[in-house]
Structure 1
Amino acid sequence: MQQILVYGDSLSWGIIPNTRQRHPFPVRWPGRLENALRAAGQDVRIIEDCLNGRRTVWDDPFKAGRKGIDGLAQRIEVNSPLDLVILMLGNNDFQSMHPHHAWHAAEGVAALVATIRNAPIEPGMPVPPILIVCPPPVGIPAGTMAEKFRDGDVKCTGLAQALRQVAKDTGCAFFDAGQVIHSSAADGVHLDAHAHEQLGDALVAPVTAALANGAAATP
């Protein structure tokens, strides 16, 4: 069985826009992806490590434990052996309490890539390949996200291009979710059920390719 770790935030955890409820596993994109891969004959297991409000390398001043780089190496160690890590983070770096822009978030993702590759895994375990997924752009913040993401739609400009360059520089696979889905109009941040399903389906091909081509050397 091939194991895939999804390291993400509320877009992957599956918050239903304008609520604190969660889409069920077959609907949210990691579940949709696992089911599609298994239906295609691949023996895979997706491990969801998705925390609401997770940043890349910054703290949330109001909630503890949202600094994505903290504990990441141990999560790789805990879940090894891994055949792929999917990173889909960045949008929470644009919350209104932060001054960050696309370059900052992309550099945060680059730091996460380095952390994954230097995790203290057991000897002989594979260093997993990484697929960087750029989240869809923040829309017009509305509803419950209006103040939390004020100006996030401006600050996120250029994230796809910046993450594509990070992927190129670090030898990671890359997928731009904004090419196939968009944030819900209900809150401008999260994903409707149909967007989750579309993203899960769209990731089948790049994930299959990453599993086939991305095996890394053992330490």
Structure 2
Amino acid sequence: MQNILVYSDSLSWGIIPTTRRRLSFDQRWPGVMELTLASLGLPVRVLEDCLNGRRTVWDDPFKPGRNGLSGLAQRIEIHSPLDLVVIMLGTNDFQSMHEHNAWHSAQGILALVSAIRSAPIEPGMPVPEILVLAPPPIQTPRGPIAPKFAGGERKCLGLADAYRQACADAACHFFDVGTVTRSSAVDGVHLDLDQHAALGRAMADVVRPLLNPGP
């Protein structure tokens, strides 16, 4: 059994657009990925650490605990041994109270990668492989979250390219989720049920070569 930590926000938590409800584990993309890998004979345990509103390295002025860097090293310590850490963050960096751009978020990703690699894990435990996912671009925000993400579609431009370069510089793995799915047509930010399914299946293909093939 191999262990994968998914460190993310509401796009992976599985919030149903325009609601406060959550998709079930087998509907969320991390669950779809786990079940798909198991069906291919590669049993894994996917550990979800996905917090609504989480940024890469910035605080939310209205809600505590949304800085993704705070406590990350301890989360790696808690869940070790880990074979792989999958990071999908950045969307919330572009909320309307921030004036960040793609370069800023890429620097945040580099800080997260550094924290994972320097986490105080027990002697002999492996430093996990790291896979960074660029979330799909924000479309025009709609519905209740529109004020929160106003301007996000402009500020997130170039995110995948910025992440790709950051991952090359840090020698970690990268995947552009925008090549698999767009963000929800319902709210312009999150993922719909069918998009979770498509991403989970695609992620099984992406993750499989990064894991030990087993006996």
* Whole-angstrom CA distance in 1 between matches of 2:186 and 2:43: 36
* Whole-angstrom CA distance in 1 between matches of 2:206 and 2:200: 11
* Whole-angstrom CA distance in 1 between matches of 2:212 and 2:135: 24
Q: Who is 2:39 aligned against? A: 39
Query: Mapping of 1:30-69 within 5 angstroms?
Result: 30-69=30-69
Runs of 4+ in 1 over 3 A off after TM superposition: none
* Whole-angstrom CA distance in 1 between matches of 2:106 and 2:94: 12
Say which SS state the counterpart of residue 211 (structure 2) adopts: helix
Q: Who is 1:2 aligned against? A: 2
Write the letter of the residue equivalent to 1:165: Q
- Kindly state the Cα deviation for residue 43 of structure 1 after the two structures are TM-superposed: 1.6
Q: Who is 1:98 aligned against? A: 98
* Whole-angstrom CA distance in 1 between matches of 2:79 and 2:55: 21
- Kindly state the Cα deviation for residue 92 of structure 1 after the two structures are TM-superposed: 0.3
Which TM-score applies when normalising by structure 1? Answer: 0.96
Q: Tell whether 2:144 aligns with 1:144.
A: yes
Report the aligned-residue RMSD: 0.9
Write the letter of the residue equivalent to 1:145: I
* Whole-angstrom CA distance in 2 between matches of 1:122 and 1:22: 34
* Whole-angstrom CA distance in 2 between matches of 1:77 and 1:71: 10
Q: Tell whether 2:95 aligns with 1:110.
A: no
* Whole-angstrom CA distance in 2 between matches of 1:86 and 1:144: 29
* Whole-angstrom CA distance in 2 between matches of 1:119 and 1:160: 26
Gaps of 5+ in 2: none
Query: Mapping of 1:102-181 within 5 angstroms?
Result: 102-181=102-181
Residues matched between the structures, number: 213
* Whole-angstrom CA distance in 2 between matches of 1:160 and 1:139: 15
Say which SS state the counterpart of residue 199 (structure 2) adopts: helix
* Whole-angstrom CA distance in 1 between matches of 2:179 and 2:149: 22
Say if 1:32 and 1:200, in contact at 8 Å, map to a contact too: yes
Write the letter of the residue equivalent to 2:170: T
* Whole-angstrom CA distance in 2 between matches of 1:212 and 1:93: 34
Gaps of 5+ in 1: 214-219
Which TM-score applies when normalising by structure 2? Answer: 0.98
Percent identical among aligned pairs is: 62
- Kindly state the Cα deviation for residue 212 of structure 1 after the two structures are TM-superposed: 4.1
- How far does the alpha carbon of each residue in 1:6-56 deviate from its partner, in whole angstroms, 9 at most, with x for none? 000000000000000001111110000000000000121000000000001
Q: Who is 1:184 aligned against? A: 184
* Whole-angstrom CA distance in 1 between matches of 2:145 and 2:152: 10
Q: Who is 1:217 aligned against? A: none
Say if 1:173 and 1:210, in contact at 8 Å, map to a contact too: no
Q: Who is 1:209 aligned against? A: 209
Write the letter of the residue equivalent to 2:13: W
Say which SS state the counterpart of residue 121 (structure 2) adopts: coil
Say which SS state the counterpart of residue 203 (structure 1) adopts: helix
- Kindly state the Cα deviation for residue 167 of structure 1 after the two structures are TM-superposed: 0.9
- How far does the alpha carbon of each residue in 1:177-213 deviate from its partner, in whole angstroms, 9 at most, with x for none? 0011011111111100000000000111110111149
Say which SS state the counterpart of residue 161 (structure 1) adopts: helix
* Whole-angstrom CA distance in 1 between matches of 2:196 and 2:96: 25
- How far does the alpha carbon of each residue in 1:151-176 deviate from its partner, in whole angstroms, 9 at most, with x for none? 00000000000000011111111110
